[in-house]
Chains A and B, each alone.
Chain A
Amino acid sequence: MSETSCYILDNGGYTAKVGFSTTNEPKIVPNCIMKAKSERRRPFIASQIDECRDASGLFYILPFQKGFLINWDTQKTVWDFIFSKECCPVNFSEAPLIITEPLFNFSSIQEAMTEIFFEEYECQSLLRINATDLAEYHYRKLNSNESTVVVDSGYSFTYIVPYIKGKKYKDGIRRIDVGGKVLTNHLKEIISYRQLNVMDETYVINQVKEDSCFVSQDFMADMEIAKTRGSENTIVKDYVLPDYTTIRRGYLRDVVKPDEDLEQQTLRLNNERFSIPELLFRPSDVGIPQMGIPEAIMEAIGACPEENKESLLENIVLYGGCTLFPGFRDRVYNEVRAFALDHYDVNVTLADNPLTYPWEGGKFLFKDPEFYSFCMTKEEYEEEGKALAFERFDI
């Protein structure tokens, strides 16, 4: 029993990363159903959104809530689409499946996952695993290190997971309830209050966030720059909003004088550009009583055995959508460096491709000679039922 390729589905709360291990890179498709104002006849499932001409006022129906799979009907519809000819067709009797789940996934969700893949999709062999496990495996394959701290800053939340000799150290796992969704919603809220009501424009404002935000290296100094007027202010920019006739995706441009008005609809972005990602570092800025990422990394490492701390600090790896903000890695490094004791080395690595890092980890894992011993087969499921899944998969 050894197939030549394996189907890997990194099932995120906002996007699913999917593809065969033989392909170079996965397809990234939105893990949701969207409904546009402009097209009343049909909803858009996952990557069908590319066919939507006017993405203003998109209404989202997401299978995930707070990072957990809650709306199964939505998820089933999206999966049916993903596994169909339209997206990334697969025959589960021929290829094993690796699918990711959130850390500490609730047991009834885990049961449902096992059931749906064995009974509905008729998988031959199944591996349910945390995305952070795949990321750690990826990192360990490349660096042959002993311990790793994986920081996954995604859509629903940010997880910090220490691994010691390839096993996750559960007492050290920490979660910050800030992710891309909170950032987009907060940006939407302040733009709506200060300039233009964009409360219904999650899709567009998410792009504004991706295109204009950065992580400040010295927050208070940048605040001072943002206060200045004229050419001294290097932060203030205008964001040209998409109109879905000539501009499909908005972009950032320098501020022009009022008399050079280009008749475009713009948003003026000043301290918004860096105070939004700042929430990852100081959630208390919006009243979420939690630590920021660097402090939480120290907290997580602090919960680990003394003899592993040195190795953990030397191998911190970051991935997930929020790590794409410019300056993210440097800020994490600088703060962790400042917190850590002087005689320790600190290394912080940003994954090469932060969105697909776990998916690529799945490719490496499939090549592991012991791969099939991690999986569960349909025969085993029929013989021993769901209880075996709980034993085998350490979610």
Chain B
Amino acid sequence: MASRESGRVKESEKRRVLDDAARKRRARKAIEALEQDNFHEDPHADLVMSKKVPKFADSNEKPTRKKKTRSAEYYKMRFRKTFAQLVEEDASSRSEPPNYLSAQVPPSKFPDRHFCAVCGFPSNYTCIPCGARYCSVKCLGTHLDTRCLKWTA
């Protein structure tokens, strides 16, 4: 049975098209990446590193500043809260606006502009599988060879 199918049908089935949720997830990841302090191959490994202060422990530079003052380590433990915890805490204790969350500006009234994901110039076309923008056949080729469906999931 299978041998009687046309090659093209098979190919089109193979071609994956990202659904809306996956596209949104990608977009969110891209925005989160803009907030990172350091980049490495693996952004998750990096996240851990920036929290745990990398490579510091094995060097001799532990904040061993003599004095009888409290060490930096003490304050790390004393005021240990992540950004997400703080936002949550703020939302419950200062629930009436104005607060941190209410101060964020709403979306613009102007329509979004679109730029080629490859060269950055204004684009008119959308990549069917992943929804990225491109401006010309040349840029589409580059896009398909490099990023389309290839980075992250």
Contacts and interface: CB of A to CB of B under 8 A. Distances in A.
Contact of B81 (A77, A108, A159, A272): A108
30 contacts: A35-B56, A41-B59, A42-B59, A60-B37, A61-B53, A62-B37, A66-B83, A70-B82, A73-B53, A106-B100, A108-B86, A109-B79, A112-B78, A173-B103, A174-B103, A177-B104, A182-B34, A185-B36, A186-B34, A189-B33, A193-B146, A199-B39, A199-B40, A200-B38, A271-B119, A282-B108, A284-B110, A285-B112, A285-B115, A291-B109
B34 A104 contact: no
B73 interface: yes
B104 A290 contact: yes
A99 to B, nearest CB: 16
Nearest to A296: B105
A80 interface: yes
A176 B99 CA distance: 14
Contacts of B76: 71-73
A64 to B, nearest CB: 9
Contact of B63 (A68, A73, A171): A73
Range class of the B interface residue count = 35 or more
B75 A73 contact: yes
Sorted nearest first, the 7 A-B pairs with minimum C-beta distance are: A73-B76, A73-B72, A76-B72, A72-B75, A199-B39, A104-B100, A106-B86
Interface in A52-108: 59-62, 65-66, 68, 70-77, 80, 103-104, 106-108
A289 B112 CA distance: 9
Contacts of A272: 120
Contacts of A71: 76
Nearest to B67: A80
Given A70-B82, A106-B86, A106-B89, A182 B35 contact: yes
Given A43-B59, A174-B105, A226 B34 contact: no
Given A76-B72, A291-B105, A286 B31 contact: yes
B139 to A, nearest CB: 11
A116 B74 CA distance: 11
A214 to B, nearest CB: 16
Contacts of B72: 72-74, 76-77, 80
Given A226-B121, A275-B115, A77 B108 contact: no
Interface in B30-73: 30-31, 33-40, 50, 53-56, 59-61, 63, 65, 69-73
B97 A171 contact: yes
Contacts of A291: 105-109
A322 B93 CA distance: 33
Contact of B106 (A35, A42, A185, A290): A290
A200 B82 CA distance: 25
A227 B139 CA distance: 14
A275 B120 contact: yes
Choose among B61, B73, B79, B112 the residue with the greatest number of A CB atoms under 10 Å from its CB: B79
A287 interface: yes
Contacts, number: 174
Contacts of A171: 97-98
B106 A170 contact: no
Contacts of A190: 120
Nearest to B40: A200
Nearest to A113: B79
Contacts of A80: 63, 65, 72
A174 B108 CA distance: 13
A287 B27 contact: yes
B73 A120 contact: no
A159 B44 CA distance: 30
Given A176-B104, A291-B107, 7 more contacts: A40-B59, A70-B82, A76-B75, A80-B63, A106-B86, A107-B93, A108-B79
B141 interface: no
Contacts of A68: 83, 86
B115 A42 contact: no
Interface string A189-209: 110011000011010000000
B98 A299 contact: no
Contacts of B87: 106
B113 interface: yes
Contacts of A17: none
B129 interface: no
Contacts of A185: 33-36, 39
A253 B39 CA distance: 28
Interface in B89-147: 89-90, 93-94, 97-100, 103-110, 112-113, 115, 118-122, 146-147
A34 to B, nearest CB: 10
Contact of A170 (B33, B35, B98, B112): B98
